[in-house]
Structure 1
């Protein structure tokens, strides 16, 4: 038993090391960063530092994608194998190598940013040392996480990772080179938005020199975020991943038409978004336009365009590859996979989609349409009850039922305590009941609070655990995730699902810790129901703080 749980300890140690590195070193870098000083550096340093984040980000993202695609080959890293066994006593050594090399990496970077004398005197040689220290830092950290299988696996998958990293780096470089040219789209976007409003609502005034468009008393400056270039790049990236993932079902090169089509549709929808922003700002509410609609509409349109283009591609015969053989068992397996995947993901995705839409039309911190989200997700859970009823049932007759219930409850209480400690400090005004709720009549407020309690303590724990621990954590182990026992996960899968879960929350560090804790809950009996219970207990404690202590910022 000791070797079974040890990976979680090392996962926590690695997570703490990473968190301390980023908090200490990146905050220090933020204080020293000076754009003018960067421009005075030699060209080789200036180019590397200016485009380094895009190159590294693209390379890392591509390698992670390659890892996910080949995840079924990583079964040797399950936490009950020897990847983190007691015989692997070199993990602390590799963590020490990581800390040493990343210190070298940041010391050189700090010296470079503090003044250009060192950069000019050392030049390319120091740059090579700096890049190698970063590479060794990343490699030693991965070795510490994976264990002794790292080097044999690296030899096997080095060509795959090298190719993925090269493609990702080139993609990141392309994005970095493309982004400064956003003004090229600003004027076409401005004129397209004006034409849409002119056609239905009346006169629109444009100022092309200032990239400004005015409708009535409300004006919008079409800057980089409004030009549509970021949305076009995101849609193209998503569709590129879709083409790769479904390459066996799509017909090439015909399917490549989806890329320019998606970019063009994204441009048109961005123009429609700006037209809607102007209309709402002049005819409905300037506060709504400048607030939630402006911040959320872009994500709504991006998600909608990506999903609709992918769905449309499944309906267009020209883009589909006909299969010569469709064995009955194969079709049945595909149908089963589709239903189980939908049962795990659709309730959570519906929750997110409705949240994006309702947030765009919510003028305060509280979402007045929250009960609609709860009702829709309850309906979906009922629809998929055939697939999830056994998963979410607590199984009180099990031999270890008491251990599961008691352990999950304690984990939930601990998560709530950690959350309260790590949540960002707020002002008394932010903790007070939102104005939207104060303006509600008493029956409506009672109904909203009841719906919020049901959603927070019952619906959200179920849909989030189905998505993150039930699906994502296991699909990172094998594509046939439903065959993977809930307590047979890899360190990469546990960390990956926890990080994804944490990034869904404003208090991301607390969210990551909570994700790891809920993974630990599934280890008690190998049942997702224990993670759901721990999640529900944590949310119930936070809800009690809202209702009895007036901490409305927690909702």
Structure 2
């Protein structure tokens, strides 16, 4: 056995060793391939609150299609009250998904609601005096079935309660439900499927008229609906606030409800 003297050891390594052990630094392997790019979520993968905008409108149309048929032995008043409750529930459930409440342009919207009532009544009258026009419209869009709430029993607690519900539907439920659908959703969806990224009030020529004509398609008062729909689109474009449109719609409908009760024009319900 070979003896190693203390002087033969330098730094802990025997100098006389035939095979000295050198401490090599550990170098991690180098990966020359580029790092993968960070994944970015695509617009298509971004969830859209589509049903928050659409479902109240769809529910309203479904109930409207059956409310006068007397199904399950439930009269029109019962179905209408159920419709108001269901749609109100949907509006409340989804309201956090919509644009936040803003007062921008709401005063102008209320003023335009008064103008809208005058436009609606004048053009509805004009449509009625043009020979054959109402018949032509009815053959395409159908007619609105009016409802006389007082019936053969006259004014009583039951009929007054239903009138209150009817006005609630006319001046609260319908304005919110329709404006959230027509202008909050459809006007923007026609521009980009990622509709919540489209600023409020933005229109293209195509989206402006598609929304207007679609609004006309569910209102047999064709001339009135055409003009009123164009006016509320203009308001939306000017204010960039769907709540201004709700204000216009609510004022027009509330005043229209008063007109109906005062004149007995039940077909306008």
- For normalisation by structure 2, the TM-score amounts to 0.70
Tell me by how many angstroms 1:433 deviates: 6.3
Tell me by how many angstroms 1:440 deviates: 7.7
Residue aligning to 1:448: 162
Alignment of 1:204-223 (within 5 A): none
Residue aligning to 1:277: none
Indicate if the aligned counterparts of 1:351 and 1:373 stay in contact, CA closer than 8 A. yes
Indicate if the aligned counterparts of 1:431 and 1:550 stay in contact, CA closer than 8 A. no
Residue aligning to 1:361: 70
Tell me by how many angstroms 1:332 deviates: 9.0
Tell me by how many angstroms 1:435 deviates: 7.3
Residue aligning to 1:408: 109
RMSD: 2.8
From 195, 198, 202, give the equivalent of 1:484: 198
Deviation string 1:275-296 (CA, Å, 9 cap, x unpaired) is xxxxxxxxxxxxxxxxxxxxxx
Residue aligning to 1:207: none
Indicate if the aligned counterparts of 1:474 and 1:481 stay in contact, CA closer than 8 A. yes
Residue aligning to 1:457: 171
Residue aligning to 1:314: none
**Partner SS state of residue 384, structure 1:** helix
C-alpha distance in 2 between matches for 1:551 and 1:456: 15
C-alpha distance in 2 between matches for 1:440 and 1:550: 13
Q: 1:438 to 1:375 in 2, by over 3 A?
A: farther
Deviation string 1:432-461 (CA, Å, 9 cap, x unpaired) is 963774458822212211111111001101
Q: 1:528 to 1:418 in 2, by over 3 A?
A: same
Tell me by how many angstroms 1:475 deviates: 1.1
Aligned residues: 211
Q: 1:490 to 1:450 in 2, by over 3 A?
A: same
Deviation string 1:330-366 (CA, Å, 9 cap, x unpaired) is 599443x1xx21011100000001111223328xxx9
C-alpha distance in 1 between matches for 2:122 and 2:112: 15
Indicate if the aligned counterparts of 1:344 and 1:467 stay in contact, CA closer than 8 A. yes
C-alpha distance in 2 between matches for 1:386 and 1:527: 16
Tell me by how many angstroms 1:513 deviates: 1.4
Deviation string 1:220-251 (CA, Å, 9 cap, x unpaired) is xxxxxxxxxxxxxxxxxxxxxxxxxxxxxxxx
Q: 1:442 to 1:389 in 2, by over 3 A?
A: farther
Residue aligning to 2:85: 375
Q: 1:388 to 1:334 in 2, by over 3 A?
A: same
Q: 1:476 to 1:332 in 2, by over 3 A?
A: closer
Provide structure 1 residue ranges, at least 5 long, that are not aligned to the other structure: 1-326
C-alpha distance in 2 between matches for 1:357 and 1:520: 33
C-alpha distance in 2 between matches for 1:432 and 1:345: 26
**Partner SS state of residue 360, structure 1:** coil
Residue aligning to 1:268: none
Q: 1:330 to 1:452 in 2, by over 3 A?
A: same
C-alpha distance in 1 between matches for 2:242 and 2:117: 19
Tell me by how many angstroms 1:523 deviates: 2.3
Indicate if the aligned counterparts of 1:407 and 1:524 stay in contact, CA closer than 8 A. no
Provide structure 2 residue ranges, at least 5 long, that are not aligned to the other structure: 1-38, 130-143
Greater relative contact order (CA < 8 Å, ≥ 6 in sequence): 2
Indicate if the aligned counterparts of 2:213 and 2:226 stay in contact, CA closer than 8 A. yes
Tell me by how many angstroms 1:521 deviates: 1.4
Residue aligning to 2:224: 510
Q: Does 1:348 align with 2:57?
A: yes
- For normalisation by structure 1, the TM-score amounts to 0.35
- Structure with a larger share of its residues in helix: 1
Tell me by how many angstroms 1:385 deviates: 2.0
Indicate if the aligned counterparts of 1:374 and 1:459 stay in contact, CA closer than 8 A. yes
Residue aligning to 1:537: 251
Q: Which has the larger radius of gyration?
A: 2
Deviation string 1:10-69 (CA, Å, 9 cap, x unpaired) is xxxxxxxxxxxxxxxxxxxxxxxxxxxxxxxxxxxxxxxxxxxxxxxxxxxxxxxxxxxx
